[in-house]
Structure formats: structure tokens, C-alpha cells
Structure 1
């Protein structure tokens, strides 16, 4: 179980925010990649093989300072962007997981799910962290939020999962391709000439194979076979030493701590006085006040 636990080192620190409430948290990777990583090596010397910046026209290597970033248009045209222009176009770096709405978990299609993370509470936010987790569990909802990680804005779902709050990044709607261009059969049994007997037999087969979801029963057999092969060759002395990759740097930090319970009460009062206003606008105004308070506190 230890190999599947969250990394003790945070890759991001900030706060969950909704209404006037901030819950200081740290973000941890919730998964570990299991596939075999095949590195390129020079078979003559067993040295690692790297990548060079090559001018495709001349074949010559060029220095990093001579490289600019270009976005291809139609034909052979490009728009060149400077680093300053790119930074200005990026979402501003924030330390907030800004919840915009709460929805039923069943309403979010698996198609949108991307990558899961664990959220751990700041030492002074344990009680409010637990309060939010239990409230989400009791209501049967998840929070839909935005946050910025590595200079990129992500859509995410805040999900209660046992003792933890998890944050799952979601794909944006425009990233999901439409199936309209595919040659798919029409929806409905009649449209495909399916007979009742055929549907019954298919249903019986599905029923026989239906079981409780137990993820530990499913193993990556291919990766296990490759690891076994590598272990056998290593035991036979057929191995070489290569340099390890550098560790990734720590994420940003946030030390903002406020009276969370009181802000929760204020948020409830604010919501009740503005019940006639659209929910999204009310959340946006509350988030603005929350961000302002956070900046002043910092």
C-alpha cells in the first residue's frame, strides 16, 4: 500500500476557496507511473543519448539563445512570440483552488477525468478540512474548481475519498473531440435491427461477468514481464550504470492562514442575503473579496 500513497513532498501549496472561506492545503501526486521507461543509450559506450538543437535546413547545431518560439499558421507562415509575451498571456500564477460550483458526481462523465492528486491540510486547517470533506460526502456532490499548476490553468474536481480530499484534473470541454466524423451505428436497437433474443443473450452474458469493482485484481502484466526480463539479465551480469535524472523542484508555498470557521459563517450569511442573484455571479464576487483578503493577509 505504501507505494500507492501520496508523496510526502508537496508539488503545490495554496488554499481551497469558496465564498469567503480559505482552506490551506498542499497538493501531492496520487499516482506512480508503472510503465517501463526505455532510455536511449549508445551501444558502443553505454553513454546516455541526449537531444541536440539542430537547424533542420543546415543540419548544424544552434545555441539556445538563438531559438525563438513560433506558432504555425496556414501555409508556411508563423507568428513568433517572445518569452515576455507568452508570460503575459499565461494565466496569472495563483495559490487558490477556486470552487465555482458543486455538482452531483454522477453528472461528470469519465471522459473528462484526467489525473488525480491528494490534498493534505495545513496544520491549522485540520478541522475545517474535515468539515468540508464530510459536508461534500453528506451532500453527495463534488466541487468544480479552477487552479493554476506549472503556469497552466486547470479545471478540476474536488472529491471526498475516505479520509482524504482529492483533486482530479479535468479536460476542458473543447478538448473532447466530437464523434460525429466517425462511422458509428445509430442509437437504438430498432435502428440496428437487433432482435429481442439477441439483446437477452447479451444481457445474460453481461450479468454473468458483472462483479464488484476491485482494482487490485487488475495488474499490468506487460510491465511485470519486462521487469522480470530486466531482473533476469541483471542477475546474469548483463547490466550497465547510467546517471539518474535530476529531481523536480518543489512547488510554490503559501503561509496564509485565516479564521476559516468565521468566514464560513459569513459566507452563509452572504449567500442568504443574495439568494435572488445568479449563483455564479455571487460566487465570483465572494471569490474576489476572498482573494483581496488573502493578498492583504499575505
Structure 2
């Protein structure tokens, strides 16, 4: 089973659907850890002053944002923490859009939403309503101390929350410099017919399981062969992960729908629980990597 990221609610109008948020993907690829060949000890990353080449301690590291060339504004940890969005653990739907209008460049990371106890009926209602209308719920959500734009879609029997990139993160097509030969190219009917025929001949049902990462497969086969041959090294290391979560209740659905329609879908104010230590730690690590 996938690990629950958090428990909260989907909110639209005055309706709250208690849900769990779970990752919809597995991280692919092969993880190569650095080891000392002489002792098989793990090798970490040193913090090096790029001018002097000397290692420096963490207490002497500050985070800065480049304002002009060679000129930085230094931000203290407290100032950075104050800028983080408050973790509401609520998928707050702000509007509904035609799912076909979302460009693929905006799609980022998918998550599954699973109903919590007493939320099954309203979960199914939202799923079927989205399917019937062809709409997607455009929402705001805070994940790992970062505010995200997201879209809520029905996929089979489930609801999927797909985070989106902000408009400022997506480059415009004009930036790739398409030439006039491409923009104004005329296509001969005969050539278009042949291309269409080729596409039709190569078409098949969507079956992603028949494709895999050949590099990862070869590396893991090599690892298996060397392990069976006794070529194993012992490395002392460990990792501890913590989980957190809250809960949400749902009240009479029909009454909430009536009140939402009467109020033209204006959402109720969401409660804001305290930030978790885990979320704050993750965001610090993320900011440190970007600043570095």
C-alpha cells in the first residue's frame, strides 16, 4: 500500500469530503549511493566555500537570493518560515473548468484521493458529477509547505488530484522560436493521407505496462548476478521517516448542497491546523538546495 501523505478534506461550496492523499506514482530509476572504496563507508556532501575551497560549518551558512549580478539579499530562517503558506490540509476547489482545456505542459504530479469513513457517498457523488459534466475541479492545496494549483479529475472509480505548474513556470510557445517555414507550411493532401494511414496502422490500445526502463532493468540484473556471486559489501546506514495526519468529518450532504447553491458556491472558511515539524523540515531542505 502507498503511504498516506496526509488526511484532510476536499472542499467545494459548503461540502467537505474527508479524504486521504496518496502518491499515484513510484519514483523510477536506480539510486547510486556514494561509498568509500577503501572502507565501504557512506560518502556525504561537504559544504565548501567556493572561493577558499575550505569546508564550513552549518551555523555559518545563510541563505541568499540574487537581486543583481554579484549582489544578494540575505534572508534569515525566521523570515523564510514566515513566508511559507499555512498548511490547511484541504483541497479547496475554487472553480470547475473543462478538463480538455488544460494544456499538457501544466500537468505535474498525480496523487490519488481515497475517501475516509463517512465520506464514501459524497466522494462518489463528486466523481460522477465531474464525469457527467466533463469538468475538472480547479483547486488550491498546500503540499510539503508549498502552495500548489491542482486539478481534480475522475479516473475510473477514483478521484485523482494532479498538481499543476503555475502559469509563470510554463514557457510560451513563442519562446522556442518556430520559424515561418513551420508556422506557414502547407501540407499536401496526398502526404497528409499517407501520414494519417501510417498513424492508423501503428495505433493500439493504451497499455503502458508493456514498456519499461531498459537501463534500470540491466542495472538490476547486474546487481542480482553480483549479489548471487557473493559480491556484497556491508554499509552501516539508516533512515527514519515519520508520518502525520489529521481527520475530517462530513455532515448532511443534501443540506450542504442546498446551502451551497443558495450561496452560489461560496466556500466556507477552512480551518488551519498547525504546521507539522516534518513539513517544515522538508521545506527547509528544499529551500537550501535551491539556494545552494
Fold match (TM-score > 0.5): yes
State the match for 2:229 in structure 1. Answer: 236
Distance 1:114 1:295, change over 3 A: closer
State the match for 1:208 in structure 2. Answer: 201
For residue 18 of structure 1, report the CA deviation from its aligned partner. Answer: 0.8
State the match for 1:94 in structure 2. Answer: 88
State the match for 1:54 in structure 2. Answer: 48
CA distance in 2, matches of 1:250, 1:12: 8
What do residues 53-102 of structure 1 show as CA deviations (whole Å, max 9, x unaligned)?
A: 22222333222222111001222100011111112222222121110111
So what's the TM-score if we normalise by structure 1?
0.84
**SS of equivalent residue, structure 1 residue 154:** strand
Distance 1:243 1:129, change over 3 A: farther
State the match for 1:276 in structure 2. Answer: none
What do residues 11-43 of structure 1 show as CA deviations (whole Å, max 9, x unaligned)?
A: 122111111111111111111123111111111
Higher relative contact order at CA 8 Å, sep ≥6: structure 1 or structure 2? 2
State the match for 1:198 in structure 2. Answer: 191
Moved more, 196-205 or 143-152: 196-205
CA distance in 2, matches of 1:192, 1:150: 46
Q: State whether residues 20 and 290 of structure 1, in contact with CA within 8 Å, keep that contact through their aligned partners in structure 2.
A: no
State the match for 2:249 in structure 1. Answer: 257
CA distance in 1, matches of 2:18, 2:252: 9
Distance 1:244 1:161, change over 3 A: farther
1:138 has 2:132 as partner: yes
Write out aligned runs for 1:152-231 (5 A): 152-186=146-180, 191-231=184-224
**SS of equivalent residue, structure 2 residue 123:** helix
The CA RMSD measured in Å over matched residues stands at 2.2
What do residues 124-172 of structure 1 show as CA deviations (whole Å, max 9, x unaligned)?
A: 2122112211221222221110100111001111111122111111111
Distance 1:177 1:295, change over 3 A: closer
CA distance in 2, matches of 1:137, 1:24: 20
Q: State whether residues 118 and 249 of structure 2, in contact with CA within 8 Å, keep that contact through their aligned partners in structure 1.
A: yes
Moved more, 143-152 or 117-126: 117-126
1:126 has 2:120 as partner: yes
So what's the TM-score if we normalise by structure 2?
0.86
CA distance in 2, matches of 1:106, 1:193: 27
What do residues 244-275 of structure 1 show as CA deviations (whole Å, max 9, x unaligned)?
A: 55243224x3333141513222112222xxxx
Q: Which runs of 4+ in 1 moved over 6 A?
A: none
Distance 1:216 1:244, change over 3 A: farther
State the match for 1:26 in structure 2. Answer: 20
